[in-house]
Amino acid sequence: MVDSLALAVSVPLVGGLLATAIPKRAQALGLLASLVAVIAVAWVLVGVWQEGSLRSELGGWAAPLGIALVADGLSAALLAMAALVALGVGVYATGYFRRGDAAAHFWPLWLLLWAALNGLLLAADLFNIYVTLELLGLTAAALGALTGSVEAVSANLRYLLVGLLGSMTYLLGVALLYTAHGTLDLGLLAAVIQPGPVAASALVLMTAGLALKAALFPLHFWLPPAHANAPAPVSAALSALVVKAAFYLILRLWLDVFAPVVTPWAASLMGLLGAMAIIWGSWRALRSERLKLLAAYSTVAQIGYLCLFIPLLQALPPGSERDDLFVALVLMALTHGLAKAGLFLAAGLVQRDAGHDRIDDLGGTAQNMPATTFTIALAGTALIGLPPSGSFIGKWILMTSAIESGQWWWILVILVGTLLAAAYVFRVLSRAFNLEPTPRRFVTQARTEVPALLLALASVAVLGLAADSLWRLLGMGEGA
């Protein structure tokens, strides 16, 4: 039988290799591979929806010897989000890269990145995670430098070094665990781990490494220049997916593997860093002169929101309230992924049309491209957390939980963050109203504008109104 989990990783990988081998056909091969990979991911999704979780041992070797792939609701949800973003980025790229050699460089790296990401989301042991994490970092930095401009190369060289430092730190933690317990399988480790100096040091090391990659405040310094200077489809993938992957691992470690080791104090520290990320990121986004820089700082803030969940989750006993909160966290991550991808793709179009992305001078451009401006508005709605976006529901549950657990101070942070986000989003949108002549039609460049619009729309309408099915997918709530 053909294995859907293996396909989800191998299809983009093979597509990437083919695109390298036949650079003239890179775009066609890349698109084809993307479509097949999306189908493979849909297959995984259906499997998880029906069975709750999937596991496959490659080559028939069981853990701890072989390489195992597992998919549960969380990884399936992120896999699906990644597939949507990837499809959007792929279609967009066919219209965005007009020169043949740029496309020939983009596709192999991009498909490799996607394969690494899917591998990371499905990996069942800490070492495979390390391998995919490293691959993800390398391809991401290479893609980010694709424009070849001085800023892009220097920002992404820094990104590369930071990424290496992050994965080395992570690997140190893995080594500690392996010495102590003799296994790297996530499931086996979770069963044997005990609070103590080894586990605590491993957690600190691994978290620090991942926090560096997830751009968790105050380790976010590398993100804004790297994301803002990359080509638009790459920025979209970096902000929506790559950062999320590192955060996904933090979540797995804190909530699954190391759950008995995590103390309330440590969880609160994560929350505090998240709070500072929200305020600082939003503030810097508001002060940004350039649209893509604004979007990049907004990512820093949004990662902060995800961290706010950790102290609240830690405080709750297992049960339906904790489940709801956990799904809300996933919902916010998914919403941000789709919205930020849409925003970066739209920002790329604005930048191309205007020749720059200085917010204060964007007037005519914003008005000339109604569909793109609409994309920014929809994505902005999701970033602010206004209804009917998925992040509105996420924030509602987050704040409910903060009130019920008595940790009301997080609410103040959320309120300030929301208002700052509204300020930075509308700072851009207010440019769309001026005395320029009326644009004749809504969509001017279908191949690039429509993917961006659909991604942003999905973050608002689909994730907002159909959020309940996420509970079902994650096997939680009444549906389970």
Sites of contact with another protein (CB under 8 A): 320, 324, 327-328, 331, 370, 374, 377, 381, 386-388, 392-393, 396-397, 399-400, 403-404, 411, 415, 418-419, 422, 426, 429-430, 433-443, 464-465, 467-468, 471, 477-478
Least distance to another protein from the beta carbon of 435, Å? Answer: 5
Least distance to another protein from the beta carbon of 422, Å? Answer: 5
Reduce the DSSP state of residue 66 to 3 states and report it. Answer: coil
Give the DSSP H/E element, type plus range, for residue 69.
strand 68-71
Query: Judged by CB, which is closer to another protein: 23, or 364?
Result: 364
Expressed in percent and rounded to 5, the helix, strand and coil fractions of the chain are 80, 5, 20
* Cα dihedral: 54, 58, 63, 66 (round 10): -160
Query: Judged by CB, which is closer to another protein: 256, or 324?
Result: 324
Query: Judged by CB, which is closer to another protein: 263, or 469?
Result: 469
Count of CB atoms situated within 10 Å of the CB of 101? 10
Query: Judged by CB, which is closer to another protein: 29, or 467?
Result: 467
Asked if 128 and 58 count as a contact pair (C-beta separation under 8 A), the reply is: no
Least distance to another protein from the beta carbon of 479, Å? Answer: 9
Query: Judged by CB, which is closer to another protein: 205, or 331?
Result: 331
Residue 403 is encoded by which pair of tokens? 């009130």
Query: Judged by CB, which is closer to another protein: 29, or 339?
Result: 339
Query: Judged by CB, which is closer to another protein: 168, or 465?
Result: 465
Query: Judged by CB, which is closer to another protein: 255, or 425?
Result: 425
Beta bridge partners of 57: 68
Q: What letters, b where the CB count within 10 A reaches 16 and e where it falls short, cover 30-66? A: bbebbeebbebbebbbebbeeeeebebbeeeeebeee
Beta bridge partners of 251: none
Positive or negative: CA dihedral 259, 170, 274, 475:
negative
Query: Side chain identity at 105, as an amino acid letter?
Result: H
Least distance to another protein from the beta carbon of 366, Å? Answer: 11
Residue 126 is encoded by which pair of tokens? 């800490």
Asked if 382 and 335 count as a contact pair (C-beta separation under 8 A), the reply is: yes
Least distance to another protein from the beta carbon of 283, Å? Answer: 16
Least distance to another protein from the beta carbon of 438, Å? Answer: 4
Q: Alpha-carbon distance 435 to 438, whole Å?
A: 9
Query: Judged by CB, which is closer to another protein: 81, or 371?
Result: 371
Q: Alpha-carbon distance 129 to 222, whole Å?
A: 22
Least distance to another protein from the beta carbon of 316, Å? Answer: 14
Q: Where are the alpha helices (DSSP H) in 193-242?
A: 197-214, 223-229, 232-237
Least distance to another protein from the beta carbon of 216, Å? Answer: 25
Least distance to another protein from the beta carbon of 399, Å? Answer: 5
Q: Where are the alpha helices (DSSP H) in 126-185?
A: 126-144, 150-181
